[in-house]
Chains A and B, each alone.
Chain A
Amino acid sequence: DSGVTQTPKHLITATGQRVTLRCSPRSGDLSVYWYQQSLDQGLQFLIQYYNGEERAKGNILERFSAQQFPDLHSELNLSSLELGDSALYFCASSVATHPGTSVANVLTFGAGSRLTVL
């Protein structure tokens, strides 16, 4: 158990629908990251939050949005779903927001949420 909790583990839905993925970071971690992993591909950075505020944005579609709540958990909202959105969505957390010299700045990943859009 990495300490990063993601729900749901599996989700099957239809095109055009909207889903919400949830992430609870490790205790003490203030920064949350969302990554997308499509079939046979590496991990693509979507978005990062630090202590409730958006810190960095990657290749996140306009149909997707995220937020981090005061208790530091985060939600990734995916709307108007398309077949190509089927993927594993990973949440990761870390203590800080900058490259550092200790493992505190290293990302710890959850087990992922597998989204299937039919």
Chain B
Amino acid sequence: GQQLNQSPQSMFIQEGEDVSMNCTSSSIFNTWLWYKQDPGEGPVLLIALYKAGELTSNGRLTAQFGITRKDSFLNISASIPSDVGIYFCAGQRETSGSRLTFGEGTQLTVNP
């Protein structure tokens, strides 16, 4: 079953607002990843984090790898309608090789 707790489960925001979502785990992860999934499509990688404390940006997206290695957050600034979709956190652990454990997802709705 899922080992990553992702919140919030859903968000309804106005265009232009900032968004924040996070993921926590009871286990340590070596890599934290954030994916976005559009309806009927596969997840697409947004940001990859490889070191504890790392803060990485990709355009309006910023993500951080928690210093305890048990959490991560994703921020989206100045949201636009095309940000709509499901955002998933995912982690890789040394004991599990390269396979990913996923969070439950955050459904984001942006109202124009």
Whether the Cβ atoms of B98 and A105 lie closer than 8 Å is yes
Indicate which residue in B42, B94, B102, B105 contacts A98 across the interface (CB closer than 8 Å).
B94
Whether the Cβ atoms of A55 and B43 lie closer than 8 Å is no
Please, how many angstroms separate the alpha-carbon atoms of A61 and B49 in the complex? 32
Please, how many angstroms separate the alpha-carbon atoms of A59 and B40 in the complex? 23
> Which of the four size classes fits the interface of chain B?
20 to 34
Whether the Cβ atoms of A101 and B50 lie closer than 8 Å is yes
The A/B interface has a contact count, at CB < 8 Å, of 79
Whether the Cβ atoms of B100 and A107 lie closer than 8 Å is yes
Indicate which residue in A48, A58, A103, A109 contacts B43 across the interface (CB closer than 8 Å).
A109
Identify the interface centre among A58, A99, A100: most chain B CB within 10 Å of its CB. A99
Residues of chain B lying within 8 A (CB to CB) of residue A107:
45, 98-100
**Chain B 42-66 interface mask (CB, 8 Å, partner A; 1/0):** 1111001010000000000000000
Whether the Cβ atoms of B103 and A98 lie closer than 8 Å is no
Please, how many angstroms separate the alpha-carbon atoms of A90 and B95 in the complex? 23
Whether the Cβ atoms of B104 and A41 lie closer than 8 Å is yes
Whether the Cβ atoms of A99 and B2 lie closer than 8 Å is no
Please, how many angstroms separate the alpha-carbon atoms of A92 and B97 in the complex? 14
Please, how many angstroms separate the alpha-carbon atoms of A2 and B43 in the complex? 10
Indicate if A96 sits at the interface (CB-CB under 8 A): yes
Whether the Cβ atoms of A56 and B102 lie closer than 8 Å is no
Indicate if A110 sits at the interface (CB-CB under 8 A): yes
Residues of chain B lying within 8 A (CB to CB) of residue A111:
40-42
Q: What residues of chain B have their CB less than 8 Å away from a CB belonging to chain A?
A: 1-2, 30-31, 33, 35, 40-45, 48, 50, 88, 92-94, 96-105
Q: Given A92-B42, A98-B94, list of 11 further CB < 8 A pairs?
A: A42-B2, A42-B103, A45-B100, A45-B101, A48-B97, A56-B96, A90-B42, A99-B30, A105-B31, A106-B45, A112-B42
